[in-house]
A and B are shown apart, each in its own frame.
Chain A
């Protein structure tokens, strides 16, 4: 994923898009910001937000046609927010006596504004603020144009005078009773041409008149032709806005709709063009989302209760403070946050994908200095739920996984993040577990059972039964056995090199068995096979069992209701989810669906190796999942089940339910095996298969592996939490025995030794026992290296 792709992903997040009201408003008043401030009683901040978009707040708040209202998402939930009334409240309660306008230093260039209607006055306001010298030409004896035709009860005259007073205060020269045009008849130079002798730019905002401007080209409908992006007319230095744009030379008598807010928007956009032209910069660069547009922001309103305004509101309504606050609080505060709501991880870092991807991008670009997002990138479970609920299908898992690969390439992946799982994978693909055989007495396999590493570690006894079941179901076809790890940890850790090694090893074995269809009980394996072994045919064990397995069970396996948890790797595998539910029904289960299940299911926190990279967050993730329902869970992923039980949730694995002999109770709170035991279980499973099916024995254990350790239960728990395996401790003691290098404590009789088999230094405090075993008191580890010492 390069810079461009990251940017594309970032742009898919719509959270920062404007709410519908602001997008629809021609001048993009920050309504959401205003209602938030007002709801807290902060009319001052709300007024400042309003004033930023609207140069004449007294006038506009009284006459605005509120094009925002039909767009408001409250419209069908009690009625649109009364935005203009809230604007009037801001003006009434928070407008300062003297409007503070910050003027830029005066510049030499001059602009003529023809017509002192609201669009022209907006241009004068905006350009005077920028320091340009403005002269307004007005044919009548007062500025304000069409505003004076508004009924006085709606727009009291003092309000007009008060707002427009500002223009003169800003140093704008106003020439009243000054008619321009109507005089360029001699063919040498028309009035616009003559004005341009004196001015650097002209804004034409003469209201609904079109007869006087023979200089400008018209479009097919008889209206003045302008560039819609820049408001530039056919004369380079003449810009046009306001009602003059809406009259037609062909239909001069046609009534035109007037909208003050639209005219202000047109004036503002023309002013921006004029400013850019005078500064000699591009008139068109980075101009988008000007004027009214439809936002891409999605806001889920399904949980919003209908609520009507406290009192009926018209343009003449003025709220009391409290009424305004109540009305403002009705605002939904539109935002997307669909993914953040369903994800502990996205919530944890207090942002949303657009922000996160920007940070990731910065993180990956840093050459020197602190990378703040390393742990962030490693804390995503890669479960894909965000992509499922996102209106634009943005999947942070895709971004995080690819970013991990980039970190690995840049040699910046913290070693501590994933090494434990990668070592575990290496174990599973070593001689200690890896195996690929045709069924006893056969020479080829149409199918092969691949139980995966974790089911084999958690449920070694049932793996044998599952394999026997498959050989019974397909007696003629031949069902081979393949033990190993699919490569999921390498995939999640961004280790493309290790994944490629795993793929190569698997494909060699797969070819040797005659390219069988692989039968997978583990959904993580299923996902990895789909993504990384595209030419390998796969089947879910659960689909096979549903079809060929026991169709009736003598007694119901459950006392009450259970909820089925779909592993996140089955998100888009509806057929597996269906098969599992079918089997559960045959088992007599009264099934409950979790609020988030099937394609919206949540991760147990094992995904993406978050449980190693960010344990506190992983604990929150699993807690969130186990609290989704009070009833016991049943699932079909060994890690989900073990993680739930560790989090205190009674949970069962489907394989236990179908293979457990009748009458023997299944402990729904029985912990899964510890990390060392998982290695041991895999080793023994392979040994058992070799012995029982092929009459072979395992290769001799290494010398250090034969060292017997005694682990009191508190020590057992300590090493489990510290991710220290029995084999790590055996290596330390073996090293101490071989070299004599250890420390002894006379009073206690304890020995202390350390050994660094790879990147981690392990310490073990122990007491040798008379029978040759070693009692372990404690073990710990670190990654920092002691001096320059190398151990062998």
Chain B
């Protein structure tokens, strides 16, 4: 799903709690028993994840709808 948004557009985001810049990292996102690894921006210390708007409203929404019809 990493192809569905531009990670570089999210440069400059820092974890508010840890004070360190978010870095690209693999995260599992899951729905209705299905799990997908996605490259997202995460906090290297606490693991906080950033889901970009275009991913949430785009590909993720599409996958949700497809899985709901399975």
Q: Which residues of A contact B (CB under 8 A)?
A: 368-372, 374-375, 414-416, 722, 736, 739-747, 751-752, 754, 761, 763, 778, 780-788
Contacts and interface: CB of A to CB of B under 8 A. Distances in A.
A784 B63 contact: yes
Contacts of A416: 64-65, 68
Q: Kindly name the residue among A761, A782, A787 whose own CB sees the greatest number of chain B CB atoms within 10 A.
A: A782
Contact of A743 (B13, B63, B64, B65): B13
B13 A782 contact: no
12 contacts: A740-B16, A740-B17, A741-B16, A741-B17, A743-B15, A745-B13, A752-B13, A782-B51, A783-B64, A784-B29, A784-B30, A784-B64
A377 to B, nearest CB: 11
B35 to A, nearest CB: 9
A745 B14 contact: yes
A786 B69 contact: no
B69 A782 contact: no
B27 interface: yes
A436 B52 CA distance: 45
A660 to B, nearest CB: 40
B69 A744 contact: no
Nearest to A787: B28
B23 interface: no
A761 B16 CA distance: 19
Interface string B24-66: 0001111100000000000100111111010011001101110
Contact of B51 (A371, A745, A763): A763
A752 B64 contact: no
Nearest to A747: B12
A752 B50 contact: yes
A415 B68 contact: yes
Contact of A744 (B14, B51, B70): B14
Given A740-B16, A746-B14, A754-B51, A414 B29 contact: no
A315 to B, nearest CB: 58
B15 to A, nearest CB: 6
A782 B53 CA distance: 9
A782 B22 CA distance: 21
A745 B49 CA distance: 14
B21 to A, nearest CB: 9
B26 to A, nearest CB: 10
Contacts of B46: 741
A736 B15 CA distance: 12
Given A374-B68, A416-B65, A743-B15, 4 more contacts: A371-B69, A744-B13, A744-B16, A788-B30
A736 B16 CA distance: 9
A752 to B, nearest CB: 7
Contact of B56 (A745, A781, A787): A781
Contacts of B16: 736, 740-744, 751
Nearest to B54: A780
A761 to B, nearest CB: 8
A462 to B, nearest CB: 37
Nearest to B21: A746
Contacts of A371: 69-70
A783 B59 CA distance: 12
Contact of A780 (B14, B22, B31, B56): B56
B12 A746 contact: yes
B31 A783 contact: yes
A787 B49 contact: yes
B44 to A, nearest CB: 13
A374 B69 contact: yes
B68 A780 contact: no
A67 B58 CA distance: 61
Contacts of A751: 16
Contacts of A782: 51, 56-57, 60-61, 64
A191 B30 CA distance: 81
Contacts of B47: 787
Contacts of A722: 57
Given A371-B70, A741-B17, A786 B64 contact: no
A387 B16 CA distance: 59
A740 B56 CA distance: 23
A412 to B, nearest CB: 9
Nearest to B27: A787
B39 to A, nearest CB: 13
A413 to B, nearest CB: 9
Q: Kindly name the residue among B47, B49, B68 whose own CB sees the greatest number of chain A CB atoms within 10 A.
A: B68
